[in-house]
Amino acid sequence: MVHPLDSGVSRHILRDMIRIRAVEEAIADRYGEQKMRCPTHLSIGQEGPAAAVGAVLGPEDLAVSGHRAHAHYLAKGGDLPAMIAEIYGKATGCSRGNGGSMHLVDEAVGFMGSTAIVGGTVPVGVGLALSLAVRRKPGLVCIFIGDAVLETGVFYESAGFAAVRKLPVLFVCENNLYSVYSPLEVRQPAGRALSDVAAAVGLQASSGDGNDPRAAYGLLKSAADRARSGDGPQFVELATYRWREHCGPLFDNDLGYRSEAEYLVWKARDPIPRLMQELREEGALDPAWLAAAEAEIRAEIEAAFAFAEASPFPDPVLASTDIYSREIAPFP
């Protein structure tokens, strides 16, 4: 049986998921070397939504994200060596070392910034959408959020304004059930769906399985089309799960805040082998293509880490510069 989604798009999503995971596994493998000296939040296990979004967004679209942003940055086309160098605190990093893993930016591809305060970029994304509307520019703004963002006041404030002005915003909510070690049930009322809350605020909302990235693509594509055609802000909730610890390279099921059994259930729903298997069954996955893609990704990652390692640290003078523009900076 042939899936309705174009097989080229499907392979694009598959390749992105494989690439994102490989990058993050390489980070995890080397994190113990103590050279990446910043808090680092990995998306391993929950690459599906990012890859699906990456296939939906075009070059004119913008994106913002939060603390767990590697996957979003990469799916939007962000520069890989600059990201790795940033995590290494190097001058060649995308934020010249000032930001680290949690402050990624690549405006050349429309990735406008990720920040470390939960909900912090939600209004920034809405403001970017306002600028598109005022300047009559095409495109939309994708705001990557997690389930905890629906606990912040700024989400409601921002969503309300986006709805009033019918701004071209696509909220993509990765619901991975945990905020650090706090499960959803201690943070939000039982039985209250995130997408219902979003709908009540005035967003057009839908929800689906983030670990079925082709299904996620369908939801995201319809939502993005609506946002682009002036229907106002959209919200897509995608269920998924992070495998590793909240922050850092390890697994943390031993801590006891979630069960090994729960982790195993989600691991069995790994989006990568699942899509691979589906494409194989549809005759849409050429083993040679896959082998070549995996080799390219391996080489690209090796090169990115080599670049980061070889790059210089920022000049110490930069510790106290870039705080103001040139016209203000000469003043103390």
CB of 295 or CB of 318, closer to other proteins: 318
What are 133's two structure tokens? 């509307």
Nearer to other proteins, 135 or 229 (CB): 135
Q: Which is nearer to other proteins, 108 or 310 (CB)?
A: 108
Q: How far apart are CA 64 and CA 171, in angstroms?
A: 10
Q: For 312, which DSSP code?
A: P
Rank residues 3 and 165 by Cβ distance to other proteins and give the closer one. Answer: 165
- Closest approach of other proteins to the CB of residue 64, in Å: 8
* In the complex, minimum distance from the CB of residue 47 to other proteins, in angstroms, rounded to a whole number: 25
| Residue 162, Cβ density class (10 Å: 0-12 exposed, 13-18 middle, ≥19 buried) | buried
For other proteins, which is the closer residue by CB, 135 or 261? 135
CA 261, CA 267: separation in Å to the nearest integer? Answer: 10
Closer by beta carbon to other proteins, 265 or else 318: 318
The total number of residues shown for the chain amounts to: 332
Is the CB of residue 75 less than 8 Å from the CB of residue 51?
A: yes
We find the least distance from the C-beta atom of residue 323 to other proteins, in angstroms, to be: 5
> Measured from the CB of residue 162, what is the shortest distance to other proteins in angstroms?
9
Q: From the CB of 85, what's the least distance to other proteins, in Å?
A: 11
The minimum distance between CB 157 and other proteins, in angstroms, equals 3
Between CA 24 and CA 178 the distance in angstroms is 20
Residues in contact with 54: Cβ distance below 8 Å, sequence separation at least 6, in sequence order = 12, 13, 16, 74, 75, 76, 77
Rounded to the nearest 10 degrees, the angle between the axes of helix 80-87 and helix 287-310 is 40
Query: Phi and psi for 285 in degrees, rounded to 5?
Result: -130, 105
Which of these, 60, 208, 215, lies nearest to 142 by C-alpha position?
60
Least distance (Å) between residue 119 CB and other proteins: 8
Residue whose CB is less far from other proteins, 60 or 260: 60
> Count of H helices and E strands in the chain?
11, 8
Cβ closer to other proteins: 149 or 279? 149
Give whichever of 168 and 208 is closer to other proteins, judged by the CB atom: 168
Residues that bind other proteins (CB under 8 A): 62, 64, 93-99, 103, 105, 107, 112-113, 115, 117, 120-135, 141, 153-154, 156-158, 160-161, 164, 318, 321-328, 331-332
Task: Please state whether beta strands 178-179 and 182-183 pair in parallel, antiparallel, or not at all (unpaired).
Answer: antiparallel
Q: Cβ 163 to other proteins, closest distance in Å?
A: 10
Bin 307: left if φ > 0, else alpha if -120 < ψ < 50, else beta: alpha
Q: Please, what is the minimum distance in Å from the beta carbon of residue 68 to other proteins?
A: 17
Dihedral sign, Cα of residue 187, residue 189, residue 190, residue 196: negative
Distance CA 284, CA 207 (A): 27
